[in-house]
Amino acid sequence: MIEMKHSVDVVVLGGGISGSCIAKALADKQWETALIDRRNFPRHKVCGEFLSPEAQSTLNALGLTEPLKSLYPTRIERAQLIFEQGREFEFPIPGAAWGLSRYRMDETLHSAALQAGAQLHLSTTVTGIEQHGEGYIVRTKRGSDTNLFHARAVITAWGTNSRVANPGHRPDAAASIQQAYLGVKTHYTGIRMGPVIEMYFFQGGYLGLCPVEDGRVNAAALLNRSEFVKTGKSVMSILEIAIQRNRRLAERLAPAVPVPDSQAAIAPVYLQHKPSPWNGLPRIGDAAATIAPLCGDGMSMALRSAALCAPLADSYLRGSISLLEWEQRYTEVIQQEFASPLRWGSLLQWLVSKPVVHQLVPSAARLAPLLENGLFRATRLKPMEPLE
């Protein structure tokens, strides 16, 4: 067994979208930054793989537009909602969205962080975090080797299901009474899609089809865990049960061929009604806010939280603000940006879970503009200016 000691300015826990972006942003400022994730990359993750125009504005602010453009994301101009009874309506997306797989995106974001000077530690499990003087000691294990990271700051981007002890952790009591969901995804070939994202609704959940790069289609579903947890042991068996609950969806995917090794699942999934930006340590990404996937702004929120936290982390490391000021300012700005979209997203999630809505809304054409211009727009973030 080998024990290594590292001295860095900041440790970022979680190598997903938000973690990679804030690691790059802080490394750009010349801070010694270590990015740690317990899994290996690249890998497929449960995600709609839909980058809204708002997400693109944040990518631009972070200086990441060109690296992702080089992956040739699919342009998406419209959204189509198809309900269980076959009724549907379609509306344009103001400003084109992108379809891009997480497999390619995460790999590119890691490369950007490395090029900026960040360290990347994958397949590395965090075994503990301790406050030490004015900083922290982060203990990790990779195989039989252990590492101690002495850091002035720690930022958590570890999603919603981390089991690592967190200094000052306050359990989310609301999780025990919230609806628990199951997320599953796969890629398909063999079906053609125009510049549109298709959302199919059925009893117990919904599934989105989003065209991504290389002619593939991402199929990602959010399902009531209680209804689907016993329907099968594999991602594809669960998906097949869900697909058969919407006739139009079953017909759409009849010629589709699943891409080997592109399947992924996550459970339980809890959708947040309000932001949770700080819990002993700053939270970014899904740890800070998880909006209903049908809103199409999950990746946008992950990116935005990183972009909002990075300047405050930089100010703290420079000694311009205290840790308490960082917490107060970050909490305030996250509340300002995310509270309303999360609230409206929860309402939208509740509405689509009601069978009576499936019957009434699609047939009432006069209500379509209300959804298009009201509820869906209310879940969107505002465009972001470039970071200084």
Of 175-179, 212-216, 358-362, 366-370, the range with the highest mean pLDDT is: 212-216
Angle (nearest 5°) at CA 93 between 84 and 62: 120
CATH of domain 3-73+102-172+272-357+367-378: 3.50.50.60
Domain coordinates in residue numbering, the chain: 3-73+102-172+272-357+367-378
Q: Which residue has the higher pLDDT, 205 or 88?
A: 205
In angstroms, what is the C-alpha Rg of the chain? 21
What pLDDT, in 10s, does the model give residues 212-241?
999 999 999 999 998 887 777 799 999 999
pLDDT, residue 253, reads 97
Angle (nearest 5°) at CA 134 between 130 and 136: 25
Does the CA dihedral 129-307-343-355 come out positive or negative? Answer: negative
Q: Give me the chain's average pLDDT, please.
A: 87
Length, in residues, of the chain: 388
Are 235 and 228 a contacting pair, CB within 8 Å? no
Quote the crossing angle between the two packed helices 17-28 and 102-116, to the nearest 10°. 20
pLDDT, residue 155, reads 98
pLDDT, residue 294, reads 76
User: Quick one: pLDDT band at residue 93, thresholds 50, 70, 90?
Assistant: confident
pLDDT surpassing 50 at residue 168: no
Which distant-in-sequence residues (6+ apart) come within 8 Å of 373 by Cβ? none
pLDDT surpassing 50 at residue 65: yes
What pLDDT, in 10s, does the model give residues 173-213?
444 456 889 999 999 999 999 999 999 999 999 999 999 99
d(CA 68, CA 351): 34
Q: pTM for this one?
A: 0.90
Letter string b/e over residues 317-327, b meaning 16 or more CB atoms within 10 A of that residue's CB = beeebeeeebb
